[in-house]
Structure 1
Amino acid sequence: MHGLTRNSRDFEELADHLARDRRVIVPEMRGRGLSDYAKDSATYTPLVYVADVQALLAELELGRVIAIGTSMGGLMTMFMAAMAPGQIAGAVLNDIGPQVETAGIERISGYVGQGRSFPTWMHAARALQEIQSDAFPNFTIDNWLEMAKRTMVLGQNGRISFDYDMAIAEPFKDTDNAAPPDLWPAFDALKGAPLLLLRGELSDLLTEETVAEMARRHGDMKSVTVAGVGHAPTLDEPESVAAIDELLARIA
């Protein structure tokens, strides 16, 4: 499950790898990619997304799943565990935990929903580089072009824009001055399910201290630090793929 402004294309390489011997489902949340935009922007919240995913799983007659969630998708994984005990057979949380750092939230809030568009893919790639170079200091221009094509789409007007409804920013920004919710009970609901936590070495959303507390509370969590990246690892790094394979091998 993808992050706030992302879509299923983030998982293309990983999904192809995992699909060799497992059934893989990569949903796009409402307002992203090929999913319809919501009529009411107030429904752009993680709990609504969880309800959407649970409706999809019910339609597919899948009672238990291994969840892989990046950022917002990881929060959704925790909420699923809390709302439907036993549904999560195992989980991968990608650079997210129950303690989300203010600096990272403020950074995301600064760019989400701006509605920018670009005349060429190179312009789009350069714009991403300007926004996220701190998180991916070792990216080449080819990497930025790949990210642009994962996160943006060519519109009928010939312009390239982010592949999500700009209105997803409204509920997100509405929480700017609110006290952060206590997410530890949702995280604790993952106890009993094997857990892998991936953390970007340069992450501004997830600290090493939070990782340590997560490991202490869970009891069956492996953490892997992905070197040289921030929020969030792209899940095609060799250490990420190897760790995910190791987790899946433990789960029948």
Structure 2
Amino acid sequence: MTTKPKTSRGRKAGSSRIVAPVPPRDIFYTSQDGLKLFARDYGQRHSTATPVICLPGLTRNSKDFEMLATYLSKDRRILCPDLRGRGRSQYCDNWTDYTPQAEMLDIFDLMAAVGIQRAIFVGTSRGGIITMLMAAHRPNAILGAILNDIGPEINFAGLKRIASYAGVMEAPTTWTEAAFKLRMMNEREFPTLSGDDWYAQARRTFAEKAGAPAIDYDTKIVVGLRKGLDAANGVLPDMWAQFKALKHVPVLALRGENSDILAAETIEKMAHEHPKLMTVTVKDRGHVPLLDEPEALKAIDAYLAQF
């Protein structure tokens, strides 16, 4: 991979080769409905800077934020939870317990467990939906929001694409096969990633069991998505009311140039509705930007300088 330019804060823009000077701490906490949940805790616990909480996508987990959390943890605390049924968090018995509302309550439980009353939230895809819900339910908990390739309107075709493989794809037998499969599925939307990048992405996508890749989420998570798509008949409900609940804080909206989830027109509408919205399009990225791109990090640095 090529060396990335330095940002305004003097750190090298993120890449998969960043190594955390201090390993993240493991946190386990219990949700209100009794699940044992996991989070990674980066940086100094007693930093005076506003903490950041990173929320992952539908079937993703805290590993997706390893690069960004390492990059930001030099001067602030970063929490990266595994949502219920993902990564190292406990699975639910029923698919009906995998909802953004339940996951929102889990994040409130995490904040209570670690003693954080307010934070800046980085929400990738599903994580951004949770962030907007949090703004509507407990606005004082949110001091800022970074929405990564998600908004109040979601393209039906993009969501249908995700539902076509999530929860049904079998685990590859080797890590080389894992990297190859991810590349074949996504290279058109992410044309500049190298072979090493795809291998790193495979390590973030799958768990490791007996040295081989394994599915890193409960496949029941996708049941609700498919049922919702069937009921929607091509028209998805929007979240404009929840997005408008973020009007009291500055928001940074990132969009992958090749995204099939967040339309450019939706970004324009978001800017019209929110007076404190910053928008950045990340070149050569689909759904979702990896948050190690120079333009993404530059925008995140500029955004966080407010806090």
TM-score, length-scaled by structure 2: 0.79
| Structure number with higher strand proportion | 2
Post-superposition shift, 1:121? 0.4
- Among 216, 235, 243, the alignment partner of 1:163 is 216
Percent of aligned positions that are identical: 45
Check if 1:188 corresponds to 2:244.
Answer: yes
The separation in 1 between residues aligned to 2:65 and 2:125, in whole angstroms, is 13
Report the CA distance between 1:115 and its aligned residue: 4.4
2:275 is aligned with 1:219? yes
Q: What whole-Å deviation, never above 9, does each CA across 1:138-174 have from its counterpart, x for those lacking one? A: 2221111110000101224x54122111111111111
In 1: Cα distance, 2:84 partner to 2:199 partner? 25
Contact 1:101 1:204 in 2 (8 A): yes
- Amino acid across the alignment from 2:141: Q
Question: What does residue 33 of structure 1 align with?
Answer: 87
Q: Distance in 1 between matches of 2:164 and 2:111?
A: 34
Rounded to whole Å, the distance in 2 between the matches of 1:246 and 1:178 is: 41
Whose helix proportion is higher, 1 or 2?
Answer: 1
Rounded Cα–Cα distance in structure 1 between residues aligned with 2:74 and 2:162: 34
Specify the code of the residue in structure 2 equivalent to 1:196. L
- Residue 242, structure 1, aligned to residue 298, structure 2: yes
How much has 1:205 moved relative to structure 2? 0.6
The answer for unaligned runs of 5 or more in structure 2 is 1-54
Provide the rounded CA distance (Å) in 1 between the counterparts of 2:185 and 2:101.
28
Of the three residues 92, 101, 104, the one matched with 1:50 is 104
8 Å CA contact 2:256–2:284 kept in 1: the answer is yes
Structure 1 runs, 4 residues or longer, greater than 4 Å off: none
Residues matched between the structures, number: 250
- Structure number with the bigger relative contact order (C-alpha 8 A, sep ≥ 6) is 1
Write out aligned runs for 1:42-121 (5 A). 42-121=96-175
SS of the residue corresponding to residue 69 of structure 1 reads: strand
Q: Tell me the alpha carbon deviations over residues 98-157 of structure 1, each in whole angstroms, 9 at most, x when there is no partner.
A: 01001110110111101402221010111111221222122221111110000101224x
Query: Which residue matches 1:206?
Result: 262
- The residue type equivalent to 1:226 in the other structure is V
Would you say the 8 A contact 2:175–2:212 is kept in 1? Answer: no
Distance across 1 between alignment mates of 2:77 and 2:177: 37
Q: 1:149 aligns with which of 203, 214, 220?
A: 203
SS in 2 for 1:222: strand
SS at the partner of 2:79?
coil
